[in-house]
Structure 1
Amino acid sequence: MDEICLTATDGVRLRLALHVSSASVARGTVVQAHGITADMDEGGMFVRLAERLAAEGFNVVRFDYRGHGRSDGTSRGVTVAGEMIDLGTIIEDAVTRFGEPLAVVAASFGAVSTLLSLSRLPVRGLVLWNPVLDLTRTFIEPELPWGIENFADTRQLGHLREHGYLPVDGGFELGWVAFEEFHTYGAAPLESFLTSSVPALVVHGDQDQAVSYDIARDAAKARPSCDFHTVAGSDHGFDSREREDEAIAVTVRWLGHQFGGAR
């Protein structure tokens, strides 16, 4: 694995990790997009997934969105638009560096920038882990306990008005600009997903208390060229090593099938 820096098109420096396959001819390139309070490691899952994929003949790129991990910026400055710039920059570099075909694995909020950019990116395969598809029902009018606690609680909203940011999970400071974007984009990620023909896999825990399992399941059913895998009993982000390994295994298997079968 090599760690390098890359400058986004608006000048923000991004940190990324490259996992290069030892195969003489790589099967494809996979870019991993992490969640809103995570970083390129995604709690270790993205590292293990990258290692598995590299062993299966894929080149893999992990990266920190701006305001996360070791990339430039602050959490209060994180925006959907900024994450779209970051993802576009990373994918352009990945294609130049490794070539196509290219797939994206996006976890949770990483699905937002991925789906809003999907029609403009050379993506041949898409894997979504516990994806945020509807910003309104996740953040603005939250239906699940995590969203209610972090985004609808009167103390949280008072903090946003007074200080200009929301303390998400007691640590990540989500700025008011991003919160306003949630109103603007609403269900746009879901609409983009439903109108896309890119082959997709959705992996979701059926006890997710943060991001709706029902929205993801129904979207997968309504969309052509989409497989859906339930991680039974799992909360958001896959809440045990066994469930994490299940999500990784089904992802590696699906990408292997999409990009030429098992090695």
Structure 2
Amino acid sequence: MRPLEVTTPDGIELDAVVHPPASGTSRGTVVQAHGITVDRDEGGMFVRLAERLAAQGFTAVRFSYRGHGLSGGEQRGATIAGEMLDLQSVIDRATEVAPGPVSLVAASFGAVSACLSLRLLRERVANLVLWNPVLDLEHTFLSPELPWGRENFGADGRRAVREQGYLLIDGEFRLGRVMWEEFHHYRPADAFAADGTRALVVHGDRDTYVSFDIAKAAALSRPDTAFHTIAGSDHGFDTPEFEDEAIATTTAWLAGSERARR
């Protein structure tokens, strides 16, 4: 693993690392986009995924969005538009370091910037993997239907945004007014449906954070898209066995995608 220097067009320095392929010859690059309260490690799962991909001959790239981890920017200043710029900057830099086909793995809220960027990256991203993806901002945040959303984004959360300019998610991430306003305007599910990039969606069927049913319906309505259920799993694949299943499923699918292009 080695550092990867990435600076966005608006001057934000992102914390990013590259896991080179164990074989020395890359089969392709896999960029990993994390969720809203974590960083480039995705609670450790992205580290394990990157190591597995590198062992399979891929170049893996992990990074923290602005306002997350060791990247520049403040939590309250993080926006969906900014995350789209971060993602595109990382992909640009990654292809300079390791030319070749690019795949994208996006977890939870990382799916928002990933799906919204597909139209802009259409000729750059060959494969897309979504883990427990946030595809419906309204029913996840604005009018939450699941326990995590009701706990974090109910009346108290909305009042905090109005009165202090941010709300605190899970006691650790300050979501600011601008991102909250963006939730009213962006439609990641529509962007996902409109794009033809080959895709895999992996989701736990006991997810109390992000709707399993919305993700499944989106996947099944879209051509060239596989859906894998992690039976019994909550959000983030909440046991080592569920994590292993998600990582193994993703690695096998990406390896199969690479062979299919030959």
**TM-score range normalised by the length of the shorter chain:** over 0.9
1:19-58 aligned at under 5 Å gives the runs 19-58=19-58
Distance in 1 between residues matched to 2:166 and 2:48, nearest whole Å:
33
Distance in 1 between residues matched to 2:14 and 2:225, nearest whole Å:
31
Verify the 8 A CA contact 1:27 1:260 in the aligned structure 2.
Answer: no
Deviations 1:87-131 (Å, cap 9, x if unpaired)?
Answer: 000001111110121000000000000110101111000000000
Task: State the Cα RMSD in Å.
Answer: 0.9
Distance in 2 between residues matched to 1:4 and 1:197, nearest whole Å:
30
Q: May I ask how many residue pairs the two structures share in their alignment? A: 258
Distance in 1 between residues matched to 2:157 and 2:133, nearest whole Å:
24
1:242 aligned counterpart, secondary structure: helix
Aligned pair 1:229/2:228, yes or no? Answer: yes
Aligned to 1:194: 193
Q: Displacement, 1:170? A: 1.3
The letter of the residue matching 1:157 is R
Deviations 1:159-182 (Å, cap 9, x if unpaired)?
Answer: 221110011011210001100000
Aligned pair 1:218/2:181, yes or no? Answer: no
Verify the 8 A CA contact 1:211 1:236 in the aligned structure 2.
Answer: yes
The letter of the residue matching 2:14 is L
Aligned to 1:179: 180
1:100-119 aligned at under 5 Å gives the runs 100-119=100-119
Q: Displacement, 1:24? A: 4.1
The letter of the residue matching 2:201 is V
Verify the 8 A CA contact 1:40 1:64 in the aligned structure 2.
Answer: yes
Structure 2 spans left out of the alignment, 5+ residues: none
1:124-139 aligned at under 5 Å gives the runs 124-139=126-141
Distance in 2 between residues matched to 1:161 and 1:24, nearest whole Å:
52
Identity across the alignment (%): 57
Verify the 8 A CA contact 2:22 2:56 in the aligned structure 1.
Answer: no
Q: TM-score, length-normalised on structure 2?
A: 0.97
Verify the 8 A CA contact 1:135 1:182 in the aligned structure 2.
Answer: yes
1:63-82 aligned at under 5 Å gives the runs 63-82=63-82
Aligned pair 1:159/2:160, yes or no? Answer: yes
Structure 1 spans left out of the alignment, 5+ residues: none
Any runs of at least 4 consecutive aligned residues in structure 1 with deviations exceeding 4 A, and if so which?
none
